[in-house]
Amino acid sequence: MIPETPSPAHGYPGRLLVFEGLDGSGKSTQARLIGKWLQSRDYRVFFTEWNSSDLTADTIRRGKKRGLLTPTTFSLLHATDFADRFERQILPPLRAGYVVICDRYVYTAFVRDAARGCAPAWVRNIYRFAPKPDKTFYFQVPVQVTLARKHASRLKISYYEAGMDLGLSDDVSDSYQRFQGRLKREYDHLARTDQFTVIDAGRSVESVQNELRKELKPLLAKFPTVEHLIHDR
């Protein structure tokens, strides 16, 4: 049986920062703002997003369009995508001493796959190569707030985002709330087992950003900036 414990730390010179949360929680906005803030303070920063590998993007897109993805194939395709992204995008800058900002990490898979019925221990085993981040921020927000933000943005709720493939409801909004509720319960569980830093994401962008900066200052207190690296040569 695979224990519900975080993977070992990565041990590389860089820092691995992870931003997790429901769609509409504001995590992506905050991740990009933190990246710009760190760059303004002369840190070397690399940004990467979930499901962004060219290796499987076309297969996942066609599978979704044709409704061919079972929970298991969904899980394996995303695991392949992440493994490729980890080897090509995350690991090299970590080794080179960058601050790597991940808009979603393996926890997205843990949450989504469990919500679709995959065994959590099985999913964790697939991703056992992925090291524990230096900091994982979980943007906690009620599902109703994310739905309201979706409607306010006028962005269409996608079929899989609403969990329509699971047959939870024929109504998109109702299915969205049911499925996202499952995701939130999984996230709340992981926040305890994997020691996330929980952020109240219902506040203003400025308030959340200020809290993130305060949380990161101790972690980066002795981390070299570009200027320090030049002087050390």
pLDDT of residue 2: 40
Q: In this structure, what token pair is assigned to residue 103?
A: 């808009």
Q: Are 132 and 6 in contact (CB under 8 A)?
A: yes
32 C-beta neighbours (distance < 10 Å), count = 14
| Short-list 2, 40, 36, 34, CA closest to 18 | 34
**Helix runs in the chain, H state only:** 27-40, 57-66, 71-85, 91-95, 106-115, 120-126, 143-153, 172-193, 205-219, 226-232
Q: Which amino acid is at 88?
A: R
Q: How far apart are CA 140 and CA 25, in angstroms?
A: 7
- Write the CB contacts of 215 (distance below 8 Å, at least 6 apart in sequence): 135, 137, 197
Four-residue CA torsion sign, 221, 222, 223, 226: positive
Q: Any idea which residue has 């981040």 for tokens?
A: 133
pLDDT of residue 230: 54
CA distance to 49, 91, 200, 227, per residue, from 142 (Å): 23, 33, 10, 42
Q: Are 118 and 74 in contact (CB under 8 A)?
A: no
Map out the domains of the chain as residue ranges. 15-215
**What is 15-215's CATH number?**
3.40.50.300
pLDDT of residue 1: 35
Question: How long a stretch of residues is the chain?
Answer: 233
Tell the burial category of 144 from Cβ atoms under 10 Å away from its Cβ (0-12, 13-18, 19+): exposed
pLDDT of residue 150: 87
pLDDT of residue 155: 78
Q: How far apart are CA 162 and CA 151, in angstroms?
A: 13
DSSP state of 88: I
| pLDDT tens digits in sequence order for the chain, 233 residues long | 344 555 678 889 999 999 999 999 999 999 999 999 999 999 999 999 987 667 677 777 777 767 667 889 889 988 999 999 999 999 999 999 999 999 999 999 999 999 999 999 999 999 999 999 999 999 999 999 999 998 888 778 888 899 998 999 999 999 999 999 999 999 999 999 999 999 999 999 999 999 999 999 999 998 999 866 555 55
pLDDT of residue 232: 57
pLDDT of residue 3: 44
Give the angle 176-53-57 at the CA atoms, nearest 5°: 60
